[in-house]
Amino acid sequence: MRVVLGVTGGIAAYKATSIIRLLTEAGHEVKVIPTQNALRFIGATTLEALSHNSVDPDLYTDVESVKHVELGKSADLIIVAPATASFLARYAAGIADDLLGNVLLASNAPVLVAPAMHTEMWNNAATVANVETLRARGIEVLTPAAGRLTGEDTGVGRLPEPEEIIEAALALVSVRDLAGKRILVTAGGTREAIDPVRYIGNHSSGKQGVAIAREAVRRGAKVTVLAANIGSLQISGATVIAADTAIEMEHQVNHLLRDQDAFISAAAVSDFRVAEVSPTKLKRSQLGDQINLRLIANPDILAGVVSRVREENLDVRTVGFAAETAGSHWALAELAKAKLGSKGCDVIVANDVSESAVFGAEHNDALIITRDGKETRVAGTKTAVASVVLDILAGL
Ligand code: C5P
């Protein structure tokens, strides 16, 4: 595979040498594009020797070959490591004032960015907004590791280990084994109104469902996402439809199901909704010290899909999720198997939320069980979990 490695001007630039070495040892062709500032930290000669390729960051040499377009188009994968705060700002703004910036804009290859900077710079509102922008465009931005930084200080900001960067990057270059498949994914957490101001909701961030949708797009699927309360979600290459309540979600699922090859039910759907939603704001002064809300059961969307698939003989694979407070791996497996049985879906993806580290986190630890009893455990980024879920789905 042809990998473009962008290196920007931070102290961690020297770690690019390990990334180059690991990639070339694995048989990949590496073209390094440092920024001018990166060359203050590491020499072009070192980068050339390790990559077995010439290194020329100048946009204005070799112009006749239109090298930024050639490099961008021929890349199978682009990694930027380390990425400085300044690089993140330029990339988020689409600024192409050097070779790396031009190549990034000229390429359709998947991009992984591994930032490294001081904690304060990583947490700065400008950097946070730039990272959000890039992630919304489908660019994989790793969260820096915590540990010793350049000075005496420690905190979040270290470049992740080269092995981790490469693993995450290679996971982006997936085969297009889902080409043409239509996949409906629900994501987020439904909110059930109490009155025009309050609702009953849950902690789901939608990140796992969104990671699945993005991964499915990368693998060639035609993806529709029913997003429950995930803000202004955009996934390039996918259709995103807002479905904020269980009833709205069920309506959309019923409408879209017939045309799908798979239904992935990653949303946390509220099991109950308020029976009598107040049309006006409930006033504390009129309610007294206690209120009773009468709740009625929401439809179980996944179970409904499974029975429709059976009744109408639809060729749709179904994947359910189970967020359980299990406490142990064994208990989680038992709960997951029970849920697989009760929902009747083809695959169940279970995780233990006892420590509540899963909600909103970038990582997940999931146990995936198929109807024929095959168990797969995967711990890693939500993208890594998405990739394994889709491997299993593709196998079906
Ligand atoms: O029963 P439980 O809520 O744990 O089941 C979780 C799975 O069922 C998830 O895949 C979720 O999307 C789905 N579900 C649903 N409709 C509901 C509740 C859950 O589709 N009302």
Return mean pLDDT, the chain: 93
Q: How far apart are CA 98 and CA 106, in angstroms?
A: 12
Is residue 130 annotated as a catalytic residue, yes or no?
Answer: no
CA end-to-end distance (rounded Å), the chain = 28
Q: Which atom of ligand 1 is nearest to the CA of 321?
A: 10
What local confidence, expressed as pLDDT, does residue 276 receive? 97
Residue with tokens 């040892």: 25
CB 321 near ligand 1, within 6 Å: yes
pLDDT at 358: 67
Ligand 1 atom closest to the CA of 305, numbered from 1: 20
**How far is residue 284's CA from residue 227's CA, in Å, rounded to a whole number?**
32
Spot the catalytic one: 202, 229, 298, 351: 202
Sign of CA dihedral 204, 85, 33, 66: positive
Ligand 1 pocket residue status of 300, Cβ below 6 Å: yes
Nearest residue (by CA) to ligand 1, atom 4, is 322
- Give residue-wise pLDDT tens across range 202-218: 999 999 999 999 989 88
Ligand 1 pocket test: pick from 192, 295, 317, 321 the residue with the most ligand atoms within 8 Å of its Cβ: 321
Instruction: Tell me the DSSP string of 317-328.
Output: EEEEEEEE--SS
pLDDT band at residue 78 using 50, 70 and 90 as cut-offs: very high
Phi/psi of residue 355, nearest 5 degrees:
-85, -5
Q: How far is the CA of 186 from the centre of ligand 1 (A)?
A: 10
**Tens of pLDDT, residues 321-379:** 999 998 889 999 999 999 999 999 999 999 988 876 667 777 888 999 999 999 999 98
Separation of CA 112 from chain center: 12
At what angle are helices 16-25 and 44-51 packed, to 10 degrees?
20
Q: Which domains does the chain have, with CATH numbers?
A: 2-170 (3.40.50.1950), 182-395 (3.40.50.10300)
